[in-house]
Amino acid sequence: MIRSAAPSTRQEARTRVVAGRSTGVVPVGYGAGWPDRVRAVAPRGVDAVLDASGHGMLPGSIALRGTTDRIVTIADPDAFALGIPFSTGGEQTPEFLAETARWVTDRGVRIAHRRGYPLAEAAAAHAESERGHPHGKLTLDLR
């Protein structure tokens, strides 16, 4: 899903961002033809791409950007062969977690929750994640 960032966010990030429907997003479905669907909603181009699906989206992302610059993936090991950074997310320091919490509380960032699973059903959660789903995080209840 893609939307233009609000002016204050755009000044900070200087990019278009992925976000939830509640922030004015235009959903763009995955699958065959997805780059054309993105072009239809972003005719002036795409500023940056974050691939979190790992389902072969990088070639289309390169086509949208016209370069490998400002593309990063957290899920597709083909990135190395394409010259795209593969990010493991960095170090989860207390400072990073505090900043993330501030984004959620002070800036209204919302993280969609698709479904929770008890720990005993972790395999089912993993299977759902592997199948892919339209939005939201899957969580495990460790209690």
Same domain, 102 and 76: no
pLDDT of residue 142: 86
The residues near 112 (Cβ < 8 Å, ≥ 6 apart) are: 20, 135, 136, 137
Task: Name the percent of the chain lying above pLDDT 70.
Answer: 79
Q: Does the pLDDT of residue 3 top 60, yes or no?
A: no
Residue 12 counted as domain residue:
yes
Residue 71 counted as domain residue:
yes
Same domain, 99 and 78: no
Same domain, 72 and 109: no
Residue 89 counted as domain residue:
no
Same domain, 12 and 76: yes
Q: Which residue has the tokens 């370069």?
A: 67
Same domain, 35 and 77: yes
pLDDT of residue 123: 92
Residue 1 counted as domain residue:
no
Which structural domain, as residue segments, surrounds residue 109?
94-141
pLDDT band at 60 (very low <50, low <70, confident <90, very high): very high
Residue 131 counted as domain residue:
yes
pLDDT of residue 105: 84
Same domain, 105 and 76: no
| Number of structural domains the chain divides into | 2
119, 121, 122, 126: CA torsion to nearest 10: -150
Query: What is the rounded average pLDDT of the residues 85-100?
Result: 80
Residue 51 counted as domain residue:
yes
User: How far apart (Å, rounded) are the C-alpha atoms in residues 46 and 139?
Assistant: 31
Tokens standing for 92? 């989860």
Task: Name the percent of the chain lying above pLDDT 90.
Answer: 26
Residue 88 counted as domain residue:
no
Query: What is the rounded average pLDDT of the residues 55-78?
Result: 91
pLDDT of residue 8: 39
Query: What is the rounded average pLDDT of the residues 35-39?
Result: 91
Q: Can you give the three-state secondary structure of the chain, one letter per residue?
A: CEECCCHHHHHHHCCCECCCHHHCCECCCCCCCHHHHHHHHCCCCCCCEEECCCCCCHHHHHHHHCCCCCEEECCCCCHHHHCCCECCCCCCCHHHHHHHHHHHHHCCCCCCEEEEEEHHHHHHHHHHHHHCCCCCEEEEECC
The per-residue pLDDT for range 63-73, each reduced to its tens digit, is 999 999 999 99
In terms of Cα–Cα distance, which of 81, 93, 37, 38 is closest to 56? 81
pLDDT of residue 4: 32
Residue 2 counted as domain residue:
no
The per-residue pLDDT for range 117-133, each reduced to its tens digit, is 999 999 999 888 888 76
- Of 38, 61, 82, at which residue does a domain stop? 82
